[in-house]
Each structure stands twice: as C-alpha cells, then as structure tokens.
A and B are shown apart, each in its own frame.
Chain A
Amino acid sequence: MKQEDRLSHFLNEESKFSSTGVKRRTMMPRNGSVSVFMTEGMKEEAVWAHGDAYAGSIAIARADIIARQVDEVGAETSSRLHVIFDNDPPLHASITGFPDEKDHVLLVAQVLADKCGLPVRRGGPGEGVLTQE
C-alpha cells in the first residue's frame, strides 16, 4: 500500500454522517480497529459495488481517507495509528493502533473523522452493481 492510497469505510446509515461530515462514532474502533477498503484507482461505480459486495450491507456513503493521513492522525494524537492491509475480504485493510484510554480513543476517532472525505452515493443502491463474469 502506498502513502497516497485512498481508503474507504462504507457507511450504511444516515446517522453516521451529516451535512457537515463524517461523525466521530463512525471512526470508533470495533475490536480495536476500523474496517476500510483500499479503493485507490477504482472507478466510482466499482467502489460502491465493492462496498455492497464486501462491506456487509448496501452503502449509502463513504468515509474516505488517505493512508498518509492515518499516520498523520497517529502523530498528531500521540497514538500508534496505522493501516494493516490483509486483503480479506478483497482489498480489505484495518486502521488499528488505537490507544487504550477511552478519552484518547474519542480524540483519535474525532480527528480521523474530521480528516475524512464524504462521498455520498447519488444513484442510490444498485448504482455500480458488481457484475460477475
């Protein structure tokens, strides 16, 4: 994975974002990590289709962040935040290295959320349906 690669966390609820951006709880870790997909270089339709196929439900928006920014958030918040690419499911990676203290986790998640871009799916579910060959 390159430093400038885009990582996407798929959002399936409107409560996870607002007109002002990605909400903090979206970037709160589950079992110590935040699940993302390496979507760099993919066409928009393919990104949505990938989320539908592998992120567990139909995506309505994404929290996009550059891999380098994850490291930057780690440095800014004195945490050991980093990305681990595991490709299971395909293109899957995890943002991990969250601190142990809850207040510290809140801070890291908030700074992460603030860095995220928020592409919202325009065509609704079904746009970019993954075609099987």
Chain B
Amino acid sequence: MPAVFEETHSCQLFIYSGTTAVEAPTRTGVLMLNADGTQVSTYILERKAVMEELRDLYRKARTVNWDGDNGAPVSPVAYEWARKLLTSVPLHVPAPEVSVDPDGHVNFDWTAGRNRVAAAIDERGLVYFISLVDGNRIRGVIRDFSRTFPVRLLDELRPLLAT
C-alpha cells in the first residue's frame, strides 16, 4: 500500500459487498482507500457537517415545544441512537439530510431525483423506513439495529446510489 497516511491515529476496516477498504484519519481529514491502496473517496467535510447538523438539531429540539408547535423533544437516548445510525452509514452512501419529526424522532433522508428513501429512529432504536423508488412504495421497521448499518436499508438505497 502506498505511503499515504501522513499521520494516522487509527484505521477502520470497512467491508461491504465484497469490497474491502480502509478508513483512516490523516492531517487533511479522513481518507478511504481500497485494499490496493487506491483512493475511493474523501468525505471529510460532508460527514462532519451532517454530524454537526444533527448535534445542532438535537440542541434545538431537546425541549418541549422546540418548534413552537408543541413538538415533542428529542430524548438523549434517541439522539444517541440517531448518532449511531448516522455513524454507521457506509462511506459509499451519501450523507443523508437530517431533520426532526414533531414526535421527536430523528429523520434521515436520501433523495435522487424523484426517488427517495427515508428512515426515522426512535428512543428504542427502532428504525422506521420508507422507500419510494421507481414508482414502488415500500415501508417497514428494522428492529435489530445496533451498530452496523441495516442491510435492509442499504438494499433500499441501492437504486439511489446507481443514479
């Protein structure tokens, strides 16, 4: 592997669908490399910005009536679940748009043209998702999310990644 890591603190092995990559922090940000050392993508600012946006949303929405319209607050537990889900988004998947629902659940939205996939996570870690892709409408609940990005959600996102 080429000597691309000027300053490496830790590396994270990333494996998905037969693709193995290494994610590593460098002086300039985070770098993702294929197993052969070629660069896959940089996503430094995008991921960082979305994580900060989520934190800002939580700060805004952690009290009752945060939206001036009786919105339910985002609980600390729900925020932690949302952070886990956002952190688990694979590197080849674009960062989602984040928002908060009136019921205090954190939402993640991915859009490509008229196709969209959305997920909301609650304080129990349940992930509610919808997929409106190519005229098909699918909805469901993922009950076993812990740390790894749900395969089911990834399957729904796949058509959006191709566009």
Contacts and interface: CB of A to CB of B under 8 A. Distances in A.
B137 A102 contact: no
Given A25-B107, A56-B68, A106 B102 contact: no
Interface residues of B, number: 26
Contacts, number: 57
Residues of B contacting A: mostly:
strand
Given A30-B70, A31-B70, A56-B69, A107 B137 contact: yes
A28 B68 contact: no
Contacts of B51: none
A121 to B, nearest CB: 19
Interface residues of A, number: 21
Contact of B109 (A24, A30, A57, A103): A24
Interface of B: 68-71, 99-103, 105, 107, 109, 111, 116, 118, 120, 122, 126, 128-130, 132, 137, 139-141
Interface of A: 15, 20, 23-25, 28-31, 56-57, 77, 101-104, 106-107, 110-111, 114
